[in-house]
Amino acid sequence: MAARLTQTRAARRAAAAALVLLALAAAAGTDAGTPADEETAAAIAAFRAGDHGGAVARLRGPAAQGDADAQFYLGLAYAKGWGVIADVERARLYYERAAAAGHAKAQVNLALSLAEAGEAEAARAWLERAAQQGDGRAAHQLGLMHYRGVGGPRDFAAARLWWQQGATQGSAEAAFNLGIVHRRGLGVAPDREAALEWWLKAAYGGLPAAQNAVGAAYQNGDGAPFDLREAWAWFRLAGAGGLDVARLNAELVAARLDAAAQAQAEERLAALRARITAIDGVP
């Protein structure tokens, strides 16, 4: 009798466990592909395709239902005037909603809006929340605030620490600024080789200013071996990214290259282009 009761209890526990697993599986399935998620994904695709008006129309429903991605992109639309009349206050409202839900990109954009309005302390708080989620842009902006003394005293050491975090999280801008810190000796001993390492990281991340800095290092033999072919390749890359001074630098260097060296420089440029990280135009 006792054995039969034990078996019955075990069977009930197993059945209950099976029901719990079924319930969890069903819940996971409904979360993964809700109509709101699908509508937001379609709206984001429309943004990327340049259909801003269509994207905004599709975002309103999911945003009203609390979809943080939809709220973030509506904020972006109102901030940029994409498919709507630009409206800073509405942009901030949508950023606030998404930021409160933990959306890191919205937290960064809200912080930048607050900083522009002179609310530096609030801006720092939102940036720190985003940086804690691994957002490199947030860490970069925090570094800038400490470097410039916005919302507190100027602090090169704190700026360097935030930029180091941002660089490890993929921010090319943070890596570029670390290069400047080491080149100028801001809170650290001047180190041209270390500066070049950070600039290279930023340059391979697609940042034209860093590519121009690397070109100058090779042009002048400053922290890098003197190499006009390498300099020309980096200047051309930065110029293609929209940096006018880099285009001029490339022309000046080209005048110093013979035909053979120019051919080698163009081969180097092709190799660099193959390595450069593609940057998405929509956050």
Query: In degrees to the nearest 10, what's the CA dihedral of 233, 238, 243, 249?
Result: -20
pLDDT at 21: 26
- 58-71 confidence digits (pLDDT tens): 999 999 999 999 99
pLDDT at 2: 35
Over the chain, what is the mean pLDDT? 85
Q: How many angstroms separate the CA atoms of 92 and 114, rounded?
A: 9
Is 76 in contact with 99 (CB distance < 8 Å)?
no
Token couple for 3: 């054995």
pLDDT at 278: 43
Give domain limits for the chain. 191-277
What residues contact residue 121 under an 8 Å CB cut-off, 6+ apart?
151
Q: How many angstroms separate the CA atoms of 161 and 91, rounded?
A: 31
- pTM assigned to the model: 0.76
Q: How many angstroms separate the CA atoms of 249 and 231, rounded?
A: 9
Q: How many angstroms separate the CA atoms of 239 and 271, rounded?
A: 16
pLDDT at 36: 59
pLDDT at 270: 93
pLDDT at 40: 86
Low-confidence ranges of the chain (pLDDT < 70): 1-36, 277-283
What are the helix (H) ranges across the chain? 2-32, 35-48, 52-64, 68-80, 88-100, 104-116, 120-132, 136-148, 156-168, 172-184, 192-204, 208-220, 228-240, 244-254, 259-275
